[in-house]
A = this chain, B = another copy of it.
């Protein structure tokens, strides 16, 4: 299938360098990195080399601060549940925001059923939480703050560095879900003042089902997976070595090419934002253009359903999404967009357009032409649209 992939936020293709590294690992029959014979030591060398590269990608002080996981969701569950349970003796209060990914929301819901109190803060009209709101919410029972680095539906980037300063000053553990940022933007755990940071390999063109959790040295966090002594006793279970080798290679490439990639992605974003008005009218741009990822634009097309637009674009071989792939099957409007102040109707008309280093202006042109036709067709059938036109 020759599909224009403008749904990169759901899945990025593997880099050719990553494919090569993974195929090499598959062909070479690597042993268990925990085994103490030569074959095990060889595997351990490859594992630790990937850990070193990932630690450089986020500027960790030491590779030992990186724990390999099965992806962003496990990293987030590990960070939140592990930090809450390990610090439950100090307090039971956790602060977060209304726009987090479901892995954060549902992990905290689980913790609330175990006696933890959750304060979830709103964002302003620009989609950002105010650091002073975080500061005001902290009590002497607060043990953890979790705020996402960038949002997976709108691309909006949060003021993590400022929140991190507040958290450090108040001596509260601070986690950021940076799953959609690490490998796209420069992310530096030291300047962000975070104790815990979740990331995912596929965001930077590594395989899915692999990720990492940064745990600052000294941060008190229980394992989520108990068992063997792997990962410096922080995450039990024989590692997905083939996937981790792929992530290590992807991290290496992200470090080398980050500036060039960002420029390309931002150019495509500027082009899309500029061109859109020539193809469709009556839409909202939900992405804060000043503080956002360079590879995503969230728009709401009035009077029609995003789901229908997505399916009709699919017929034209253009892949986009309407919300987080993790929420597929749920018919509810996105909590992220409702938090931004959108009406239910506008939230239902949402398209998430996300691109990658492999996309071109030509891909954007294909999307724009297809979108023009699809929107016209759907609005032609839309009773809401007709009513609106009569009013005017």
When distances are taken between beta carbons in the complex, the residues of chain B under 8 Å from A238 are: 11, 71-73, 200, 202, 208-209, 325-326
Closest B residue, CB atoms, query A30:
B11
Q: Is the CB of A74 within 8 A of B225?
A: yes
Q: Which of A214-233 contact B (CB under 8 A)?
A: 222, 224-230
Return the CB mask of A314-334 against B: 1 if under 8 Å, else 0: 100101110011111110000
Q: Say yes or no: is A338 at the interface (Cβ < 8 Å to chain B).
A: no
A228 interface neighbour in B70, B202, B326, Cβ under 8 Å: B326
Q: Say yes or no: is A265 at the interface (Cβ < 8 Å to chain B).
A: no
Q: Is the CB of B208 within 8 A of A77?
A: no
Q: A14-B26, A32-B11, A209-B70 given as contacts; is B40 within 8 A of A228 (CB)? A: no
Q: Say yes or no: is A31 at the interface (Cβ < 8 Å to chain B).
A: yes
Q: Is the CB of B23 within 8 A of A241?
A: no
Closest B residue, CB atoms, query A207:
B242
Closest B residue, CB atoms, query A41:
B314
Closest B residue, CB atoms, query A3:
B39
Q: Give chain A's interface residue range (CB within 8 Å of chain B).
A: 35 or more
A241 interface neighbour in B209, B241, B244, Cβ under 8 Å: B209
Return the CB mask of A110-130 against B: 1 if under 8 Å, else 0: 100000000000000000000
Q: Is the CB of B73 within 8 A of A228?
A: yes
Q: Is the CB of B10 within 8 A of A228?
A: no
When distances are taken between beta carbons in the complex, the residues of chain B under 8 Å from A22 are: 26, 242
Q: Is the CB of B314 within 8 A of A32?
A: no
Q: A23-B26, A26-B23, A319-B31 given as contacts; is B328 within 8 A of A209 (CB)? A: no
Closest B residue, CB atoms, query A44:
B328
Segment at the B interface, from A98-106, A180-188, A374-382: A98-106
A176 to B328, CA, bound (A): 32
Q: A23-B26, A227-B77, A240-B70 given as contacts; is B207 within 8 A of A326 (CB)? A: no
Least distance between A46 CB and chain B CB atoms (Å):
13
A261 to B230, CA, bound (A): 31
Q: Say yes or no: is A212 at the interface (Cβ < 8 Å to chain B).
A: no
A208 to B228, CA, bound (A): 15
Q: Is the CB of B236 within 8 A of A73?
A: yes
Q: Is the CB of B35 within 8 A of A106?
A: no
A209 to B71, CA, bound (A): 12
Q: A29-B14, A242-B207, A328-B36 given as contacts; is B226 within 8 A of A107 (CB)? A: yes
When distances are taken between beta carbons in the complex, the residues of chain B under 8 Å from A165 are: none
A1 to B210, CA, bound (A): 28
Q: Say yes or no: is A42 at the interface (Cβ < 8 Å to chain B).
A: yes
What are 6 A-to-B residue pairs whose CB atoms are below 8 Å? A7-B35, A73-B225, A208-B241, A209-B237, A238-B326, A242-B242
Listed in ascending order, the chain A residues whose CB lies under 8 Å from chain B are 1, 3, 5, 7, 10-11, 13-14, 19, 22-23, 26-27, 29-32, 34-40, 42-43, 69-74, 76-77, 101-104, 106-107, 109-110, 200, 202, 207-210, 222, 224-230, 236-244, 307, 310-311, 313-314, 317, 319-321, 324-330
